[in-house]
Every structure is written in C-alpha cells, then in structure tokens.
C-alpha cells in the first residue's frame, strides 16, 4: 500500500514555495529537448502548462477531444479571475486572498497549496495582460475590478462577461506560438483512453483518434492530466457536453488516488430546467449577484399564482417579497458563498415558495430593479440631470446594467424568451464545479510517479467549497507557474533515459484492453442508447448525492448505481462503425467511467459524516438548517484507492489537514 | 414546464460517411418537439430515436451549448447558425420554427473546411493561421511588467475586447460566396493592433497571418459583408478594414 506523502516543504508558510523552488532539481536547457511530455487537455491548466513547458524547451505532445485547443471548457467561464493585486487599495493582500480561500473552502483544502496559489496570483494578471488579454479598464487606463461572492474586497479581474474565453484565448495563442515553432505537437480530436505505466512510472497513453477511429500509442517521460472536472456525472450540469472524468478515472484505476469525490459545487444562479428534453444547464454569471437581489414571494398564494401564470413578479409589492438571503445573512446578503446561496434557494422551494412552472417548482428570482433605480439616479446626477423622470432613471440604469452584463442578458432572453430588464430572471442551483479530483502532492504529482494532475482535475486548492473566480486562478497558476518547476524536479532523473519505446508489453496490454472494449461496444447490440443510462445515473446523483444528502439516500444510491452499471454493460447499444467518427462510441467510454465514479462519490459522501461546503448532510445540520462541520473527526482529505471492479471495495487513505497559520473557525456569513 | 407546444417537423439532413464518399440528403420526421428546446436538443431527440432503431446517429459538432466555444456549426435553411441573428446554433431555440415546417440542415461548405462526416467539418485551417502569428511573443515565465505599468485607454480596451470576442466558429467563411476568412483573421489582427502590447510585432503578425490565410485556400474578400450579418458575435467589417490598413502599411514598409 503506497503511503500518502504530501511533500509540503518545511519552513514558514510565506517562504515555503520560494525555498522549495530554490532546492528542487533542475533540467538544464540543453537537456530539455531530450525529454517528451504528454499534456492531456488544453484548457486553462493544460494550455498554459503546454505553452510554458514548450517555451522552456521540452518536447510537448498536447491532446484534446475538441477540434481545437481554443474550445476547451474553460472558454465558458464568465465572471472573472481573482488576484491579490490590491489595485483598489481596499486592504487586499496575499494573506487575505489565502485566508478567504481557505475559509471559503470550509477548511478542507491544503494550507501550503492555497498560500502558493495566492502568492502567484498576481503574476497571472501580469502574464495575461502581456499576452494581450483585454481585461476591463478604468477611464484612467488602469485595470478595473469587481467583487465576487464570499469576499469583502474587490479583487476580481474580468473581460466583460467572457473572462474564461479571453484567458483561454490568451493561453491558446501561447500554445499556437509554440505549435508554429514546432515545439508543441497538437493532437486535436484525440481522446486519451488509458495511461501506460512502465516500471512503475507513467510513460505514455493510449488515445483514440476520433476522426479515423485508430487506437494510437504515445510515449513520454511524464504525463500531465489537465482534463477538467467531472460534473457531467449528473448528466445535467453547466459543464460542456463533452466534459468527462475518463482521463482522471483511468489513472485512478492504474493507481492514482481519487480525493474527496463527494465535493461538488452547486452554483446558485443557473437558468432552471425547462423540460425532459433538456441536455444541459446554462449558468448566469455569479457577478450578477453584485447587482441583483434574490427573492421569492413572501405569501405562498402569490407563489402559486405566479406558477399558474396569473400573477407577474413585477406586480408583487416589495413588502410582499422575501429577500431571504438578506434576511438570513445580513452581513453578506446576496453575496454569501455558493453553497449557502444554493441551499437557501432549495429550502425556499422545498417549502413551497418556488416560482418556476415546472414539475418540481424549482426557481427563485434574481431581480435587477433596485439596481436599475440606484444606478439610474447616480447617472442622472453625474450627467447633471435635475429632477429626472422615472423613464430617464430607468433608461440610465438600464444602460449601466447593459454595459456591465449586456451579453448575459441577451443570452438569458434567447433561452427563456423573457426580458430580464423588465421581468426578474428566474434562477435555480445547478451542478457546476467539482472540488474533488485526483489526489496530488505539493508538486502536483499523483500517487503514480511521473503522472501529474493540474487544474480542475486535481483536488488540492478548493476544499469543500470553491469561491467564485478562483478556478481560473488555480488553472493558470498550476499551468504557468507551478507545474513547470515541479515537473523538472522529477524529470531531472530522466535526461539519459532516451526516447520511450511504444512497442513494450505495457503498451501492448493497454492497447489490447482498449481494443477489446471497442469491440464489446460495437457488438453488444443492447436495447438502450448511452444517453439513456447517463440520464438514469444523473437522476440518482441529483436526487441522492445532490444538494442535501442522507445516509439512507446514499446507501440507496450506491446500490442503484451498481444496478444501472450492470444494466449498462448488459444492454447498451452503440450503432455505427468503430473505424471512423462515432460519437455514440465516444460517449459510451465516458459514461462507463461516470458509472464507477458516481458510486465512489456516494460512498465518499456516506463516509464523511459531517456537513461542509458543498457536501451537506441532513443528519449533520444545526436546528436552523446550517451546515454542521466536524473538525475533530473529519479534518482530512479522503483519498480513495482502487481495488478492482467492485467500487465498494475501494479503500480510504486519510491525509490530515494541518493548519499552522490560521485558526480554524466556524464559517458564518450572518 | 412553461407554456410549450409540440412541433412536428420534417428534417432534410446531409449525411456523408466520410470525406472519401459522396453524401446526400436524407429525410427524417420528428414529432412533439418542445418550443423551449434548443435546436441541438431537437437533434439529440432525433439521434435518440435513430439509435433506438439501430441506425447510426447523425454526427454534428457541439460542446459548450452556451454560444461561446464556437464548436457548433450547421447551415440551417440556407443560413449559418439558422434563422435567428447574433447567436450560434446551440442557442437557436425551436420557438423560431413553425409546426409542420421542413428544415434543411447542412454542414459548413467551404474548400478550406473539408467535411469529416455528416455535419462535421474540419476547421483546423483556423488553427494553422493562428500558429502563423495570432499571438504576442511573450515568454510565459511570469517575469513581465506589472499589469498596470501598461496603461490602456478604456475605449481601446473595449474595442480590443469586441474584436477578441470572435469564437472561431467559421460562420463567416461558410456564408461568404468566396469562402474568405477575413472577418476571423481581421478580428485577431485588430485585437492586437488596438493594444500597446501587440504593437512591436504588428507588421510581422499581419503579414504572416494573411499569408497563411491565403495558403489555406480561403478565398479573397470582396467586401460583400455577408460575414458581418451572420457573425454570432457581432464582429464588424471594421476589423477587415483595419487588417487591410495594417497589411498595406506593413507591405509598404517591407518593400
Ligand atoms: C459556465 C461556467 C462558468 C464559469 N465561470 C467561472 C468564473 O467566472 N471564474 C472561475 O474562476 N471559474 C469559473 N468556472 C470554472 C472554470 O471555468 C473551470 O473550473 C476551469 O476552466 C477548468 O479548467 P481546466 O483547464 O482544468 O479544464 P477544462 O477547461 O475543462 O479543459 C479540459 C481539457 O481536457 C480535454 N480533455 C478532457 N478529457 C480528455 C481526454 N480523455 N482526452 C483528451 N483530452 C481530454 C478537453 O478537450 C479540454 O481541452 C466556470 C465554469 C463554467 C462551467
Ligand atoms: S468572425 Fe464571427 S463568424 Fe467568423 S469565426 Fe469569428 S465569431 Fe465566427
Ligand atoms: S456548442 Fe459551443 S458555441 Fe455552440
């Protein structure tokens, strides 16, 4: 049994990263082109890593399943990216960003990693600006900032509502530059299906060329997994349709521990589900919570009338609205962290006050009318308009909102056919981000030597809950500034190894296994499509491993998922041909892995007998319905070790979380 | 579920096994499509029906389904991304269609975008144009200037952002009768031309990108403006004008 060694450097927190960098082994520039590195995924994490490693002189082979690295799921991030620049002079600092992130993560993330993240955050902004990322600016030409849920300073940098897009295009242009130089070989429309281990070290991957169907072998001295999160295990989520766990799950099956799989972030501001044909959910950026007030009707008759279409929300008087976040959490109001906001919405809807006319009545309002009034009045003063009319105030306020969030409002209207400038937006929580992932040490190496994991695919920085605008930060920190150093320490032993051959027994065996699976899927000829099973799994996950969990529900989920999994292998049908593009086959491989992961998530949630962050157990709640953490018994990372086909047999290893520099407190947003 | 109506539709869809075989239109019927569904959800439904009948699903590109990744394509009733304006196919909703309607669905058609299968085309020519110069040559080490040391007038930053909003979907190429990629390339050239960071290598960039664009088999721009009309991100023809200005001044310098 391998031991968990987090390899956190000794010494004072603020010096750990610097000291570590000073003492790690290096690969000298003239030796770097003797080394090949595979990077799976070209989102913010993988793209930035590939570009930087290539810049340093390594040979990089990068893979993504889309037709271009520019399409990675990171592109969809809207709101912004945090950095402790203190440009606004509101008291921000490395320590404060570190502290907010640890607290926001409900004291379930690793202190040293989070400190390093806060430390390098400022460089990310410098780097991206130098690359031409068009962040929002003030009239004086300096960078502008906004604030995000869970914090009380303005440290979020943004590029309109398209921050992820612009950061990814920045990384993509850096990747493009290295492709042009021949230092990155890009494999678009390729999916990694397995990891190859030679003599105990990660030495390559098996990938399927999604255009020709060919199963290919690729070797390298190290493999970096940057394949994103696993939220699509719920079928409906804000993730891109192709987002999947396969790369992370395959390395798990080869020996990498999977940490805290039950930590899932449910984002409070998504457009509610419209019907059974729905394929995915759309996020409305959290930045909207800076300007919107969240409410449901105070009187249940009004909620019923709204659902029946007999009453419009505009016509409910302010005193008949329940601004439940402002009521329950006066200090943070609408800006409480995501888990708190999501549960509060569920609580109101479960109590019958939901406003959406769907089967489950799940929906609350996000209302901009107060902000339109306020900003309209401010603008009138600025423009020297005395005694403005109501219409003038509205128009000026609307113009302000449009400047700030215009594209989101257009997007909302296209999807729902409602005009959010007039009618409050309908929102409801949805699965968004996964804090759990592959266990990695301080060097971002998994329990498999030579296999590194970065970005959303690893577990280390967010704990049980992730604050807004910190995933983009982590992806780029890992890729630009952490991994390129730490991987050198590992690779320094490999400068004499030479090219890794792909004709070894390890490659033969891995390829055969995949080929056999392809053959199975193509000939099984069952009764149901892949989506049929994915939806079934998603349903169980949302109902029993979702926003509120109970021991009974989790036990049922484990059993039910097992049944769906058996049914899948007996009865899945994949039509078409394996020797060419076949998207049903692609999905089959992904859903097979989701089925195993789903079971482990339920198992992990069952074992964690406390509530923290996104993991909420009804049997561990205060009388007011707030989460009840148990630091004494559960201040650890649960790292699961694969033990063969039966997921119930996985064993848990514990990494104790030691906080030397901050006091662990109860998280309160009252 | 909000007020919804079930549409019955006839779909004429381009099917093509791969780039070596010929394709043809096939006709499919689909019933009870919710007007709240997106166009791609309608295709999901059709595919589910096909798979249940043991037939091969229709291949089409998509990923984010939020109008931002640029992966979805589709030529719908003679227009890229369909009848609505300012959106991608994943944001097209079925309420734009009428009960009983026949809808024609084709892949992007352009010499520079070969068909891979059914409705999926190969847009990697865009990536190659980017690799020829669509970047600022800055080392990714993080040892650069403090971000606020480079002041950018808000207006320039906003204009650069508008140009940078291109999602690389290729609708501009698909709709252009010459198959020109000028809107796409102009957008990238403009983003960097508007920012101080991009200035140093502006000449090299535009010359290399334009050269690569020509080599990839994109047609010549004749300023018809169809691209601007169909661009889901509202990229304006101004970016083409700016690219041309940058190109001419760079060529003059070179000569
Ligand atoms: C709608 C939305 C809005 C968001 N807004 C914000 C925000 O405002 N601020 C913030 O900080 N965070 C935000 N997030 C979260 C953030 O965007 C993600 O966590 C982050 O971008 C993940 O980056 P990544 O590089 O780890 O993975 P991704 O960007 O998901 O990239 C994954 C890559 O892996 C590849 N891949 C996956 N599997 C395989 C395989 N088997 N073989 C080959 N390649 C594979 C994919 O092709 C892709 O290139 C948002 C997320 C969503 C969904
Ligand atoms: S310019 Fe517009 S149409 Fe052309 S690729 Fe960019 S977003 Fe698509
Ligand atoms: S699927 Fe991403 S833009 Fe349509």
Taking only the tens place, the pLDDT of each residue in A296-323 is 999 999 999 999 999 999 999 999 999 9
The first and second tokens of residue B75, run together, are 């030529």
Query: What is the mean predicted confidence (pLDDT) over A22-32?
Result: 96
Mutate to test the interface with A, among B131, B140, B156 (most CBs of A within 10 A): B140
Total count of residues recorded for chain B: 255
Residue of A nearest to B151 (CA): A141
3-state DSSP percent of chain B in helix, strand and coil, to 5 = 40, 15, 45
For CA atoms A101, A104, A109, A111, the dihedral sign is positive
Which residues 29-48 of B have a C-beta within 8 angstroms of A?
A: 33-34, 36-38, 40-42, 44-45, 47-48
**pLDDT for A384 beyond 70:** yes
Total count of residues recorded for chain A: 670
User: Which of A352, A346, A249 lies closest to A591, judged by CA?
Assistant: A249
Using pLDDT thresholds of 50, 70 and 90, give the confidence band for residue B1. very low
Instruction: Look at residue B74 and give its three-state secondary structure.
Output: coil
Nearest to B142 among A123, A279, A581 (CB): A123
CB spacing of B41 vs A176 below 8 angstroms = no
Q: Which helix (H) or strand (E) holds A297?
A: strand A293-297
* Model pLDDT, residue A215: 98
CB spacing of B168 vs A241 below 8 angstroms = no
Tell how far CA A140 is from the center of its chain: 34
Using pLDDT thresholds of 50, 70 and 90, give the confidence band for residue A149. low
The per-residue pLDDT of chain B, averaged, comes to 95
Express each pLDDT in A54-107 by its tens digit.
999 999 999 999 999 999 999 999 889 999 999 999 999 999 999 999 998 999
* Model pLDDT, residue A286: 79
The per-residue pLDDT of chain A, averaged, comes to 95
Q: What separation in Å is there between the alpha carbon of A515 and the centre of ligand 1? A: 28
Nearest to A126 among B52, B95, B142 (CB): B142
Instruction: Look at residue A569 and give its three-state secondary structure.
Output: helix
* Model pLDDT, residue A155: 94
**pLDDT for A1 beyond 50:** no
Contact residues for A668 (Cβ-Cβ < 8 A; gap 6+): none
* Model pLDDT, residue A160: 87
Name the closest-CA residue to atom 4, ligand 2.
B172
A338 catalytic residue (yes or no): yes
Express each pLDDT in B200-217 by its tens digit.
999 999 999 999 999 999
Query: What is the mean predicted confidence (pLDDT) over B45-71?
Result: 97
Contact residues for B159 (Cβ-Cβ < 8 A; gap 6+): B190, B194
Which pairing describes strands A264-270 and B102-106: parallel, antiparallel, or unpaired?
Answer: unpaired
Sheet holding A293-297, edge to edge: A264-270, A425-434, A364-367, A293-297, A321-322
Q: Is the CB of A47 under 6 A from ligand 1?
A: no
Using pLDDT thresholds of 50, 70 and 90, give the confidence band for residue A359. confident
Name the closest-CA residue to atom 2, ligand 1.
A77
User: Which of B137, B136, B129, B180 lies closest to B160, judged by CA?
Assistant: B136
Instruction: Look at residue A640 and give its three-state secondary structure.
Output: strand
* Model pLDDT, residue A2: 55
DSSP secondary-structure letter at B138? -
A423 and chain B in contact, CB less than 8 A: no
Mutate to test the interface with A, among B147, B153, B235 (most CBs of A within 10 A): B147
* Model pLDDT, residue A429: 95
Using pLDDT thresholds of 50, 70 and 90, give the confidence band for residue A275. confident
Q: What is the largest CA-CA distance in chain A?
A: 83
Least confident span in A215-229, A280-294, A484-498? A280-294
Using pLDDT thresholds of 50, 70 and 90, give the confidence band for residue A559. very high
- DSSP lists the bridge partners of residue B242 as none
On chain A, the residues whose CB falls within 8 A of the CB of B165 are 160, 162, 165
More confident residue, B87 or B254: B87
What span, in angstroms and rounded, lies between the C-alpha atoms of B241 and B245? 6
Q: What separation in Å is there between the alpha carbon of B167 and the centre of ligand 3? A: 9
Tell how far CA B85 is from the center of its chain: 13
- DSSP lists the bridge partners of residue B79 as B76
**pLDDT for A401 beyond 50:** yes
What span, in angstroms and rounded, lies between the C-alpha atoms of A457 and A470? 14
For ligand 1, mutation pick of A66, A72, A451 (most atoms within 8 Å of CB)? A72
* Model pLDDT, residue A445: 98
Percent of chain B predicted with pLDDT > 70:
98
**pLDDT for A403 beyond 90:** no
User: Which of A341, A389, A333 lies closest to A364, judged by CA?
Assistant: A341
Q: What is the ipTM metric for this complex?
A: 0.97
* Model pLDDT, residue A280: 92
What span, in angstroms and rounded, lies between the C-alpha atoms of A216 and A194? 11
On chain B, the residues whose CB falls within 8 A of the CB of A188 are 124, 127
Query: What is the mean predicted confidence (pLDDT) over B134-146?
Result: 88
A168 neighbors A68 (Cβ within 8 angstroms)? no
* Model pLDDT, residue A150: 60
The first and second tokens of residue A44, run together, are 């913010």
Q: Is the CB of B210 under 6 A from ligand 2?
A: no
How crowded is the C-beta side of A440, counted as CA atoms within 13 Å? 31
DSSP secondary-structure letter at A331? T
Q: Is the CB of B232 under 6 A from ligand 3?
A: no
Instruction: Look at residue A124 and give its three-state secondary structure.
Output: helix
User: Which of A567, A125, A13, A80 lies closest to A290, judged by CA?
Assistant: A80
Percent of chain A predicted with pLDDT > 70:
99
**pLDDT for B142 beyond 90:** no
The first and second tokens of residue A280, run together, are 């995915």
User: Which of A266, A224, A303 lies closest to A36, judged by CA?
Assistant: A224
Token pair 């004494």: residue: A632
* Model pLDDT, residue B3: 47
* Model pLDDT, residue B2: 43
Work out how many CB contacts closer than 8 A connect A with B. 243
Q: What separation in Å is there between the alpha carbon of A406 and the centre of ligand 1? A: 24
On chain B, the residues whose CB falls within 8 A of the CB of A132 are 135-136, 160, 191-192, 195, 197-198
**pLDDT for A473 beyond 80:** yes
* Cα distance from N-terminal residue to C-terminal residue, chain A: 45
Q: Which ligand is nearest to the Cα of residue B237, counting in written order? A: 2
Tell how far CA A43 is from the center of its chain: 12
Residue-by-residue DSSP string for A187-252 = ETTEEEEEEEEETTEEEEEEEEETTT--EEEEE-SEEEE-----GGGGSSSSS-TT--SHHHHHHH
Express each pLDDT in B173-191 by its tens digit.
999 999 999 999 999 999 9
DSSP secondary-structure letter at A499? P
Ligand 3, atom nearest to B64 Cα:
2
Query: What is the mean predicted confidence (pLDDT) over A199-215?
Result: 98
**pLDDT for B144 beyond 90:** no
What span, in angstroms and rounded, lies between the C-alpha atoms of B209 and B135? 10
């Amino acid at each position: 049994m391998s031991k968990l060694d987090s390899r956190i450097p000794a010494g004072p927190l603020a010096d750990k990263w610097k000291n570590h960098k000073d003492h790690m082994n290096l690969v000298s520039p003239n030796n770097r082109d003797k080394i090949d590195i595979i990077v799976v995924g070209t989102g913010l994490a993988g793209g930035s890593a590939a570009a930087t490693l290539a810049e340093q002189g390594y040979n990089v082979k990068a893979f993504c399943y889309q037709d271009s690295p520019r399409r990675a799921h990171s592109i969809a991030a809207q709101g912004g990216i945090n950095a402790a620049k203190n440009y606004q002079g509101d008291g921000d600092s490395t320590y404060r960003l570190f502290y907010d992130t640890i607290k926001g993560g409900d004291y379930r993330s690793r202190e040293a990693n989070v400190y390093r993240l806060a430390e390098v955050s400022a460089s990310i902004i410098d780097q991206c600006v130098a690359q031409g990322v068009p962040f929002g600016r003030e009239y004086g030409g300096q960078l502008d900032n906004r604030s995000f849920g869970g914090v009380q300073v303005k440290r979020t940098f943004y590029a309109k509502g398209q921050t992820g897009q612009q950061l990814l295009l920045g990384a993509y242009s850096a990747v493009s530059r290295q492709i042009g130089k021949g230092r990155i070989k890009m494999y678009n429309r390729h999916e990694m299906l397995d990891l190859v281990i030679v003599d105990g070290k990660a030495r390559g991957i098996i990938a399927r060329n999604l255009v020709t169907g060919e199963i290919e072998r690729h070797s390298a001295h190290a493999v970096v997994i940057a394949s994103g999160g696993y939220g699509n295990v719920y079928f409906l989520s804000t993730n891109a349709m192709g987002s999947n766990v396969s790369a992370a799950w395959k390395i798990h099956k080869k020996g990498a521990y999977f940490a805290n799989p039950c930590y899932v972030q449910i984002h409070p501001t998504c457009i509610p589900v419209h019907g059974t044909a729905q394929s995915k959910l759309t996020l409305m950026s959290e930045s909207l919570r800076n300007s919107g007030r969240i409410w449901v009707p105070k009187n249940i008759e009004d909620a019923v009338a709204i659902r029946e279409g007999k009453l419009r929300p505009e016509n409910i008087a302010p005193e008949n609205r329940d601004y439940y976040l402002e009521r329950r959490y006066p200090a943070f109001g609408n800006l409480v962290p995501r888990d708190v906001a999501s549960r509060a919405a569920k609580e109101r809807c479960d109590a019958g006050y939901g406003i959406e006319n769907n089967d489950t009545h799940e929906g609350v309002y996000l209302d901009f009318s107060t902000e339109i009034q306020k900003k309209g009045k401010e603008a009138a003063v600025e423009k020297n308009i005395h005694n403005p009319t109501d219409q003038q105030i509205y128009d000026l306020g609307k113009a302000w909102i449009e400047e700030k969030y215009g594209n989101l409002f257009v997007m909302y209207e296209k999807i729902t056919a409602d005009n959010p400038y007039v009618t409050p937006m309908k929102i409801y929580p949805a699965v968004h981000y996964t804090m759990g992932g592959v266990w990695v040490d301080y060097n971002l190496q998994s329990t498999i030597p030579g296999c590194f994991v970065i970005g959303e695919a690893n577990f280390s920085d967010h704990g049980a809950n992730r604050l807004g605008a910190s995933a983009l930060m982590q992806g780029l920190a890992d890729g630009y500034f952490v991994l390129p150093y730490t991987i050198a320490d590992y690779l320094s032993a490999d400068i004499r190894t030479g090219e890794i051959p792909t004709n070894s027994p390890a490659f033969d065996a891995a390829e055969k296994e995949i080929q056999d699976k392809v053959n199975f899927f193509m000939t099984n000829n069952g009764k149901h499509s892949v989506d049929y099973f994915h939806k079934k799994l998603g349903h169980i996950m949302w109902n029993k491993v979702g926003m509120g969990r109970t021991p009974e529900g989790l036990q049922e989920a484990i059993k039910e998922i097992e049944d769906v999994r058996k049914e899948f292998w007996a009865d899945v049908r994949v039509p078409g041909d394996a020797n060419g593009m076949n998207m049903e086959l692609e999905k089959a491989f992904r859903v097979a892995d989701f089925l195993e992961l789903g079971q482990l998530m339920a198992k992990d949630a069952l074992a964690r007998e406390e509530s923290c962050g996104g993991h909420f157990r009804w049997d561990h709640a205060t009388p007011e319905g707030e989460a009840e953490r148990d630091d004494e018994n559960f201040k650890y990372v649960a790292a699961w070790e694969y033990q063969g086909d039966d997921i119930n047999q996985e064993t848990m290893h514990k990494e104790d979380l030691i906080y030397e520099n901050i006091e662990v407190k109860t998280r309160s947003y009252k | 579920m909000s007020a919804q109506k079930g549409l019955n539709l006839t779909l004429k869809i381009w099917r093509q096994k791969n780039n070596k075989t010929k394709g043809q239109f096939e006709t499919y019927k689909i019933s009870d499509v919710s007007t709240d569904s997106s166009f791609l959800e309608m295709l999901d439904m059709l595919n589910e029906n096909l798979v249940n009948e043991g037939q091969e699903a229709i291949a089409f590109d998509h990923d984010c389904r939020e109008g931002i990744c640029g992966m979805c394509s589709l030529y719908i009733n003679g227009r890229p991304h369909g009848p609505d304006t300012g959106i991608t196919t994943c944001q097209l909703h079925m309420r734009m269609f009428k009960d009983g309607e026949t809808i024609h669905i084709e892949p992007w058609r352009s010499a520079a975008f070969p068909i891979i299968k059914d409705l999926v085309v190969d847009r990697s020519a865009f990536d190659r144009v980017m690799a020829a110069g669509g970047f600022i040559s800055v080392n990714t080490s993080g040892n650069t200037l403090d971000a606020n040391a480079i002041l950018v007038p808000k207006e320039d930053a906003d204009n650069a952002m508008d140009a940078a909003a291109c999602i690389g979907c290729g609708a501009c190429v698909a709709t252009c009768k010459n198959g020109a990629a000028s809107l796409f390339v102009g957008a990238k050239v403009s983003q960097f031309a508007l920012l101080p960071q991009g200035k140093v290598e502006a000449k090299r960039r535009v010359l290399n990108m334009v050269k690569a664009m020509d080599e990839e088999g994109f047609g010549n721009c004749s300023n018809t403006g169809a691209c601007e009309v169909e661009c889901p991100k509202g990229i304006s023809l101004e970016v083409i004008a700016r690219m041309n200005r940058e190109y001419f001044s760079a060529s003059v310098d070179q000569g």
